Chains A and B, each alone.
Chain A
Amino acid sequence: MSDHAVRDAQIAPSAVPSRTCFRLRLKTDFMLGVLSVAVMLAGWWLLSAAGVVRRDLLPTPPDVWAAAVEVVTRGYRGTTLWENINATLGRLLGGFLAATLTGVPLGLWMGSSRTTNAAINWIIQFMRPLPPLSYMILLILWFGTGDLSKGMLLFLTAFPIIVASSAAGVRCVKLQRIQAARTLGAMPAAVFRHVTLPSAAPMILTGLQIALAAAFSTVVSAELLAATNGLGWMVISASTFLRNDIIILCIIILGLLGVTLAGLLRALDKWAIHWRGRD
């Protein structure tokens, strides 16, 4: 991209927006975004307040706000909102961290050793396209309906993605770099530490981002299926009482959580892998 931009600047300098012009555009874009969200909210309000749709099926934005206040101050069926958010995030991060701590080393090992790769890769390739919920019932059968089966499910969701991306990251390291380091007298451990690992890191981080997104979807599905707390449980429990205001509230919270989690990992990526894309 930057390459194109440079050539572009040489062809037509006037076509490249100046810094202030760029800021101005960002600002109008932001205003347009706010505007479209506002129009959507107003449309939603009108639709439910005017009685076009039954209000218990589509509550108005103030109804959802009232539900938010109610859930925050008085909790939901004996649980507080924080407990439920904590339960969901705890499961998610527990499974994800376990998968990261085991998956990255295994992937690095598979990428460096043909033998390990040959012995294990078929299992990873078999698990990767399998939708996690499909084996949830087996995990419930084996580990019960408690948090252990959900933790295993999230671990197994993230694990193959992380292993595959880590192994691919090592395999994509340019041979010349390793040869150059060896020629300069680096020992295998030093080559791994200073050449292989930094070169594989961008792909590993990308794998972590994909794995976290997949695990986030899975944790909510698992909570819908079998849980006694968590945001997924709140949704399914509210649906049995036709509390659509609480369902919509949970969907908004889940959406914001998803955006935040993805943003945090992207920020980590930007901070830790500052050399990404400069090959």
Chain B
Amino acid sequence: MRTLPAWTITVLSVLLITAAWVGVTSGGLVRDLFLPGPLDVWSGLMELIDDGYKGRPLFLHVGMSLYRVGAGFVTGALVGTALGLGMGYMPKLNALAAPFIEFLRPLPQLAYLILLIIWLGIGETSKITMLFLAALPVSAIAARDGVANVPPERVRVAQALGASEWQIFRHVIFPSALPEILVGARLAAGIVYGTLIASEIIAGSSGIGWMVMDAGRFLRSDYVFVGIGMIGLAGIVIDQALLFIERRVVHWAGR
């Protein structure tokens, strides 16, 4: 028996699950309250695009979320990377900062969001501060390990050739650590994005995560499905964009 090519099986599997979805929803086995059919979701998407959600257009909700992700991620990744480079370069700084970084990294971000909300109010500042704190330890650890993993003979060669401390950092250590820094940045972006969606769901008044939660409260399952789809799509776009940058910037990685 000849085996089918892989893509045929994938297509068959997608078709099978879609057929099951259509069958279950149109056959009236489950109420559309719990599981809307594909057509309901499609018309929900059209409604959201035409009329927006609760007075704001759909793209504005997506834009709000992306703005928060961007602000928290860029500040957190920059400060974290700078700190991590310093920690990798100066063991003393590492000893001073490591306890906080190691404590902050596994800490569930939403736990300190509540405290930040009490301190800074429910607006953008508390959310962006939380995202900053979410990105910081991940970027710092990636940069520190990146510096630590620079092959020492590269540094020795540069020293032997008479390079100054700054030249070694600028032309040897930084480029060697950059691939790891960028991998860390992508990891941080994923964490920041997931944290933002969670924070919008728990304490938001706008944004795509809030839309999903609010639609769920009013049992608009079709909007919930559209929202989840948008959240997944935006997550993939963010990740692919960073992967693209990574490949352009560190084309020498792995050589």
Which chain A residues lie closer than 8 Å to B6 at the CB level?
A: 114-115, 117-118
Cβ contacts B84-98/A at 8 Å (1 or 0 each): 000000011011111
Q: Enumerate chain A residues within 8 angstroms of B235, measured Cβ to Cβ.
A: 129-131
Q: Please measure, in the bound complex, the distance between the C-alpha atom of A33 and the C-alpha atom of B106, giving whole angstroms.
A: 18
Scoring B6, B194, B228 by chain A CB atoms within 10 A of each residue's CB, the highest score goes to B194
B7 on the A face (CB < 8 A): yes
Q: Is A105 an interface residue (CB 8 A)?
A: no
Q: A33-B96, A129-B190, A130-B231 are in contact. Are A217 and B91 (CB under 8 A)?
A: no
Tell which of B107, B114, B149, B193 touches A255, judged by Cβ atoms closer than 8 Å.
Answer: B107
Residues of A within 8 A of B232 (CB): 126, 129-130, 134
When chains A and B are docked, how far (Å) is the Cα of A255 from the Cα of B99? 11
Q: Could you mark each residue 193-237 of chain A with 1 if its beta carbon is under 8 Å from any beta carbon of chain B, else 0?
A: 000000000000000000001001111110011000001100110
On whether the beta carbons of A119 and B149 are closer than 8 Å, the reply is no
Which residues of chain A are within 8 angstroms of B119 by Cβ–Cβ distance? 57-58
Interface assignment of B252: CB less than 8 Å from any CB of chain A? no
Max chain A Cβ within 10 angstroms of own Cβ: one of B98, B112, B193: B112
Q: Is A99 an interface residue (CB 8 A)?
A: no
Which one of B92, B152, B194, B236 contacts A8 once the chains associate, using CB atoms below 8 Å? B152
Are A217 and B152 in contact (CB-based, < 8 A)?
no
Given contacts A36-B99, A126-B232, A251-B107, contact A141 B221 (CB under 8 A): yes
Task: Please give the distance in Å from B94's CB to the nearest CB on chain A.
Answer: 8
A21 beta carbon closer than 8 Å to chain B: no
B81 an interface residue at 8 Å Cβ cutoff?
Answer: no
Q: How large is the interface on B (under 10, 10 to 19, 20 to 34, 35 or more residues)?
A: 35 or more
Neighbour of B224 across the interface among A36, A119, A137, A220, CB < 8 A:
A137
In the complex the two chains form, is A258's CB within 8 Å of B106's CB? yes
Chain A CB within 8 A of B22 CB? no
Chain B residue contacts of A137, Cβ below 8 A:
201, 212-213, 216-217, 224
Q: Which residues of B contact A218 (CB under 8 A)?
A: 198
A250 x B111 contact (CB < 8 A): yes
> Closest Cβ of chain A: how far from B236's Cβ, in Å?
5
How far apart sit A242 and B117, CA to CA, in the bound complex (Å)? Answer: 11
Instruction: State how many angstroms separate the Cβ of B234 from the closest Cβ of chain A.
Output: 9
- Across the interface, name the chain B residue whose C-beta is closest to A39: B96
Q: Which of B9-17, B54-62, B162-170, B173-181 contacts A (4 or more CB under 8 A)?
A: B9-17
Asked if B47 lies at the interface with its beta carbon under 8 angstroms from chain A, I say no
B231 to chain A, nearest CB (A): 5
B169 CB to nearest A CB, Å: 19
Q: Is B184 an interface residue (CB 8 A)?
A: no
Give the complex CA separation of A258 and B112 in angstroms. 14
Interface range for A: 35 or more
- Per-residue contact bits, chain A 127-152, to B (CB 8 Å; 1 contact, 0 not): 00111111111101110000000000
**Residues in chain B near residue A268, CB distance under 8 A:** none
Interface residue SS majority, chain A: helix
Name the contact of A4 in the complex, choosing from B153, B198, B201 (C-beta under 8 A): B153
In the bound complex, residues from chain B placing their C-beta under 8 Å from that of A130 are 228, 231-232, 235
A77 at the interface (CB under 8 A from B): no
Q: Across the interface, do B114 and A235 meet the contact criterion of CB distance under 8 Å? A: yes
Is A244 in contact with chain B by the CB < 8 A criterion?
A: yes
- A247 proximal to B (CB < 8 A): yes
Best-buried of B92, B99, B149, B190 by chain A (most CB within 10 Å): B99
Q: Which of B10, B103, B115, B213 has the most CB of A within 10 A?
A: B115
Q: Is there a chain B Cβ closer than 8 Å to A24's Cβ?
A: no
Nearest residue, chain B, Cβ from A56: B118
In the complex, whether B171 has a CB less than 8 A from a CB of chain A is: no
Question: Which residues of the other chain, B, contact A58 by a CB distance below 8 angstroms?
Answer: 119
- A140–B108 CA distance with the chains assembled, in angstroms: 21
Interface centre among B149, B201, B209 (most CB of A within 10 A): B201
Pick from A4, A134, A247 the residue with the most CB of B within 10 Å: A134
Cβ distance B219 to chain A, nearest Cβ, rounded Å: 8
The chain A residues found within 8 Å of chain B, CB to CB, are: 1, 4, 7-8, 11-12, 25, 28-30, 32-33, 35-37, 40, 57-58, 114-115, 117-123, 126, 129-138, 140-142, 213, 216-221, 224-225, 231-232, 235-236, 239, 242, 244, 247-248, 250-251, 254-255, 258-259, 261-262
Question: Can you offer 26 A-B residue contacts whose CB atoms are under 8 A?
Answer: A4-B151, A4-B152, A4-B153, A8-B153, A8-B156, A32-B96, A114-B6, A118-B10, A129-B236, A133-B197, A133-B202, A133-B209, A134-B197, A138-B228, A141-B216, A141-B221, A217-B194, A220-B110, A221-B110, A224-B111, A232-B111, A242-B118, A250-B111, A251-B107, A258-B105, A259-B102
Task: List the 6 shortest-distance A-B pairs measured between CB atoms, nearest first.
Answer: A258-B106, A137-B216, A220-B108, A32-B95, A118-B9, A131-B194
